[in-house]
Structure formats: structure tokens, C-alpha cells
Amino acid sequence: MTMAKRDTYTPESLLAVAVEVFNERGYDGTSMEHLSKAAGISKSSIYHHVKGKEELLRLAISRALDGLFAVLDEPGAVEGRAVDRLEHVTRRTVEVLMAELPYVTLLLRVRGNTGTERWAMERRRDFDHRVAELLKEAAADGDLRADVDVRLATRLLFGMINSVVEWYRPGRGGVTSGEVAEAVLRTAFAGLRTSG
Amino acid sequence: MTMAKRDTYTPESLLAVAVEVFNERGYDGTSMEHLSKAAGISKSSIYHHVKGKEELLRLAISRALDGLFAVLDEPGAVEGRAVDRLEHVTRRTVEVLMAELPYVTLLLRVRGNTGTERWAMERRRDFDHRVAELLKEAAADGDLRADVDVRLATRLLFGMINSVVEWYRPGRGGVTSGEVAEAVLRTAFAGLRTSG
DNA sequence: GTCTATATTACGATAGAC
DNA sequence: GTCTATCGTAATATAGAC
């Protein structure tokens, strides 16, 4: 609990504060006044660090997307059987989601009212499609149950993964990201894999 | 595609329009001007039918909650083994969610900025707790895998169920609510039940 | 039941002093 | 780098005519 520095803000440290408020009130429900109060500086001071409210959103979402897309380039995501790559990506996605929780939370809640939001939704769709491809491959390999619709399974899998942002709060509850990832894998893949 | 009546609005028919816009832009991202344009009447005319924006939210959320809580009183939810009641509630929750899609969607997205939103979140927590009780009972009966954490399982189950609002669009795709409910049950309970 | 016009407040962003 | 003061706009809601 090192409160540490609060001399002056960097875009990075201001971003951390802003993202917390965005997630609590929603992006549209957050005014510059709210951010100002939370950061402990005046509205106009915020404009010294960032161009405006939408830039804070863009910075936060970029961070989330960078973390997620990096998973797709890991060795475990590009080598081996599709079903094993799928498991790796699922596990690591949960871990990144929990490590970058506030940023990914914001990404998942974007509605598409501004250009930045629409860009975020598009990039997120790209990520989902990459994972859907893995599911399709695994199904073609005969490693997934034949009676499971791939499109539907992808959606339910992401539903489970993404729902973590709704309840996980670091520091309390005691579950680690690894444990949550294992639970998601057990729950999802028991119903998907052909052999236990 | 019967466009039907558009002579004059009732609170009910106006609500249907408003909820669509709320879900597309987010509640906070929707102005009375947006609603006015979507409904094809002026801003001030809306105030003739409802007290204001927040009342539209309250009406919509009430409808969602009424549908969900009704499930808990159905025969299948109060008779029999806990694990079977759990399956019934899961299946019916998915069905109600899909039948009342826009209203439940709105319920699941409220952030808590107004009194109405906080009330909605509280009622929703009540519902979740009722289902969590069923999971606990089923675990005590020995009908759920011993190595599954009940709290975590509840959350993942709701994650899967609630994620349906993110992609299901009636009329296209072709899946029925019954099919989706079955897929959720198969996916979730294959990883939860002690015996297939 | 719907409209135009308007009151009032809140919002994002800028100007300019220190 | 932070502040106070302020601009211009958009928000919720009301008044009163038809």
C-alpha cells in the first residue's frame, strides 16, 4: 500500500486515476469535473497532460488491446495442435484481463458513440475472430465435440472470460489469476473437448 | 414486419423506442434529443408521457426484473433436487433474457450513477444470490464436482448467461432461445455435474 | 397530444495569470 | 504545472399556445 508519489502527474499516472473513474461511472457518465475531483487537480490542469477526455479513453484502450494481442504472438499460441493453442490463448487472455483489469474493463464496455470507441470495437472484433479461428481449427481436427456449434461456443467462451471484469477485484477474495484461468478452462473445455 | 400503429404514443410504446436507443448509445450517452429523434416527436412531447429520462429507465428495468424473478417461482424452480432446480432456473433465465432482450440488456449495463440504477443493481444482486443458493444446495447434495468453487462457478455461469445479450439478435442467425439455453446448459454443466 | 420557445444548469475546452 | 475565470454548446426540463 505505498501511496508514494503525488507530486505531479504524468499522462500515465493521470490515466490510472481516470480509468478508475470511467469504470465506476461509465465513460459517458464521467465529466471532466469528476476526473478533476478524483485526481485532486483542477479541470484545466488535466488539459496540460492530455488533449481531452477522449484521449484518456484512447490511451486506456490501447493498453488493453496491446496486452491482449500480445497473447496471440506467444509461442504457445502459434505452435502445436489447435486445441492446445486455444487453451493457451484462453488461459493467457484471462491472465492478461486480470493483470490489466481496469483497462480491459473499459475496453469491454465501450458503446461506439465516438470515433475512438468505434475503433476499439473493431480491434476487439479482430481479436475475437482470431480466437474463433482457433476454435474452428480445433473442431476440424476433431478435438471438439461434434454437436457443439463453433460460433456459439466462441461466444459463450468469451462470455465466461469477459465476465471476470464484473466481479474480480485484486487484493480481496484471494483467488489468483491462474486459479481463475484454470476454473474457466475446466468449466468451458469439459463441455467442449471430445476427451476429458 | 407490421409497422402498425404510430398514431400516438403510450408510455409502453414509447418505452420500447427509448430502450432501443439506451442500449445502442448507453443510458448516459442518450439525451432527450436522441430519444425525440428516434420517436419522431419533440422533446417536450416525451414529458407528456413520462416524468423524464430516469422514469423510462425505471420502467424498462422493472420489466426485466419482473421476468427474471418470476422464474424463481415456477414449479420447476421450487420442486425436486437442487441440481435439477438449478438447471431449470438456468434454462428459463436464458429464455427470459432472450424474450425480454432489450430490457434485460439495459438492466445488466447500469452503472449506479442514479438512485434508480442503484436500486436495479441491488435487485439484480438479490436474484444472483437466489441462484447461488441453489448451487450451494446442489453442491451439498453431492451433485456438483467437489473441486469446483461454488462462488466462482456461480459467477462463470452468470457470465455465460448474461453474455447472450452481447450477441443475440432476434430474427437473424436463426438460433432459438431454447437452443441457446441448451448450449449454455451443456457447456456449463458438463464441467460442473458429478455425473454426465 | 404535440408543438415552439425558453429557463437553467452542466459540460468540454480554452485564455491567461502565477 | 497548476490555478481562476470564462466561452460556447448541449443537457434536462418547463411554459404556454394550438
pLDDT digits (tens, 9 = 90+) for B17-44: 999 999 999 999 999 999 999 999 999 9
Confidence of residue A171 (pLDDT cuts 50, 70, 90): confident
Dihedral angle of Cα A83, A88, A94, A99, to the nearest 10 degrees: -170
Strand D contact with B113 (CB < 7 A):
no
Q: In chain A, which residues from 3 to 62 place their CB closer than 7 Å to nucleic acid strand C?
A: 30-33, 43-44, 47, 51-54
Residue A108 half-sphere exposure, CB side, CA atoms within 13 Å? 23
Contacts of B156 in chain A (CB under 8 A): 160, 163, 183-184, 187
- At residue A127, does pLDDT exceed 80? yes
Specify the DSSP class assigned to residue A162. H
pLDDT value at position B150?
86
pLDDT value at position A112?
97
Per-residue pLDDT, averaged over A153-169, amounts to: 94
A residues 63-102 closer than 8 Å to B (CB): none
Each of the 196 residues of chain B gets a pLDDT tens digit; together they read: 544 556 789 999 999 999 999 999 999 999 999 999 999 999 999 999 999 999 999 999 999 999 999 999 999 999 999 999 999 999 999 999 999 999 999 999 999 999 999 999 999 999 999 999 999 999 999 999 888 788 898 899 999 999 999 999 998 777 899 999 999 898 888 777 876 4
The CA distances from residue B34 to A163, B16, B42, in Å, are 30, 14, 10
The CA distances from residue A47 to A8, A31, A38, A113, B158, in Å, are 14, 13, 15, 22, 40
Indicate whether this model's pTM tops 0.85.
Answer: yes
How far apart CA A166 and CA B119 sit, in angstroms, is 18
Helices within A50-163 (DSSP H only): 53-72, 75-78, 82-99, 101-109, 115-140, 150-162
Cell readout for B126 is 438479490
pLDDT value at position B196?
46
pLDDT value at position A195?
66
How far apart CA B116 and CA B148 sit, in angstroms, is 35
Those nucleotides of strand C lying less than 7 Å from any protein Cβ are 1-5, 10-16
The CA distance from A122 to the nearest CA of chain B, in Å, is: 15
How far apart CA A46 and CA A55 sit, in angstroms, is 11
The CA distance from B33 to the nearest CA of chain A, in Å, is: 15
Q: Which of B188, B130, B179 is nearest to B160 (CA)?
A: B188
pLDDT value at position B189?
86
Q: Mean pLDDT of all residues in chain A? A: 93
> What percent of chain A has pLDDT above 70?
96
SS3 category, A144 = strand
Compute chain B's Rg from CA coordinates.
19
How far apart CA A39 and CA A15 sit, in angstroms, is 10
Question: In 10 A of CB B109, how many CB atoms?
Answer: 17
Cell readout for B18 is 427509448
Per-residue pLDDT, averaged over A72-85, amounts to: 97
Range in A8-22, A36-50, A54-68, A136-150 with the lowest mean pLDDT: A136-150
**Closest in A29, A153, A187 to B113, CB measured:** A29
pLDDT value at position A174?
78
Strand D contact with A41 (CB < 7 A):
yes
For B83-104, how does the pLDDT look when each residue is reduced to its tens digit (9 = 90+)? 999 999 999 999 999 999 999 9
Encoded amino acid at B42, one letter: S
A residues 114-143 closer than 8 Å to B (CB): none
pLDDT value at position B1?
52
Contacts of B28 in chain A (CB under 8 A): 26, 28-29
Q: How many helices (H) and strands (E) does chain A have?
A: 10, 0
Q: Are B193 and B138 spatial neighbours (Cβ–Cβ below 8 Å)?
A: no
For residue A171, is it left (φ>0), alpha (ψ between -120 and 50) or beta? left
**Closest in B28, B152, B175 to A28, CB measured:** B28
Q: Do the chains contact at B186 and A148, CB–CB below 8 Å?
A: yes
- At residue A147, does pLDDT exceed 70? yes
Q: At what angle do helices A150-162 and B177-190 cross, to 10 degrees?
A: 60
Residues for chain A: how many in total? 196
pLDDT value at position A5?
52
Confidence of residue A6 (pLDDT cuts 50, 70, 90): low
pLDDT value at position B192?
74
Question: In 10 A of CB B114, how many CB atoms?
Answer: 17
| Residue of least CA–C1' distance to D5 | A44
pLDDT value at position A196?
46
